[in-house]
Homo-oligomer: A and B are copies of this chain.
């Protein structure tokens, strides 16, 4: 396999993406293989890299962590976490996410380690399978591996407008947990309730935490948060004794006003989670297949319209933006 392919090339921070049809097809090293990409999904990570909000930015490079494609006759998805390593508790020093520094999925072909290839879930078409991997493994690890979610638990998932949060909600509801949500948009809360959430609060309300305390007076077993900021300390107070808060993001910045007394007296656990191990990815696929969970896709663009697709993804909220490549 050699020759040229279509690719959407990241040329640098704040630069337009360059659509090319003469990008050299990568030559996979020993232990790697080529995946023929059918569909690829845009993640926040891709957007942040383009805005310069990411460490170690390299250009030119092909972005893209998510894909559904074909490899040796099999329909596959790619685990975008490369070289997690042996320790399930944290990633190795070699760990990196597919799509910078390694060329990613916004191209006809992507080279990945063979061990990162998994059969695509059979209930998902190519478009929806492409939207699953990164958000799926992030949600799975946060909820289960780090959050230790059990069916009898009561869970709060903040910022339900986010793709990971929404997928986490679907997973938690699927196993029978009671799920509460928060959002700044009433329509997202209403939709979450239609999808099986118990209730939700608008975090623009000054008393959102009092509202949650009334809805769930015994406190939450688990809270999944990606905002941080000044709401974080109020979230911690909403945990029950022995409860866990999993943070997988910090869009609102540093945490202030956190009470050590609340943490130690209630024997709380505040733990971080990012991406997931190979075992997390495998377990995520099994859970998604068993419960026929489907990620939401907002719109599909041809690869040539990459720039429009990124605009849409930036504004589009939790529904995935997918690039059609094949």
A33 sits at the interface (CB 8 A): no
Q: Which of the segments A6-14, A83-91, A109-117 contacts the partner chain?
A: A83-91
A51 sits at the interface (CB 8 A): no
A228 sits at the interface (CB 8 A): yes
Query: Which of B261, B266, B269, B274 sits near A269, CB closer than 8 Å?
Result: B269
> A265–B271 Cα gap in the complex (Å)?
10
Residues of B within 8 A of A249 (CB): 260, 264
- Flag A7-32 by CB within 8 Å of B: 1 or 0 each: 00000000000000000000000000
Q: Is the CB of B274 within 8 A of A242?
A: no
Q: Is the CB of B91 within 8 A of A267?
A: yes
Instruction: Please give the number of chain A residues whose Cβ is less than 8 angstroms from any Cβ of chain B in the complex.
Output: 35
A–B pairs, 30, beta carbons within 8 Å:
A87-B242, A89-B242, A89-B267, A90-B242, A90-B266, A90-B267, A91-B241, A91-B267, A146-B267, A228-B260, A233-B254, A247-B263, A249-B264, A250-B260, A250-B264, A254-B257, A254-B259, A255-B256, A256-B257, A258-B258, A260-B272, A263-B270, A263-B272, A264-B273, A265-B272, A266-B272, A267-B274, A268-B272, A269-B272, A270-B271
Binding site for B on A (CB under 8 A): 87, 89-91, 146, 228, 232-233, 241-242, 247-250, 254-274
Q: Which 4 A-B pairs have the closest CB atoms?
A: A250-B260, A228-B260, A264-B272, A263-B272
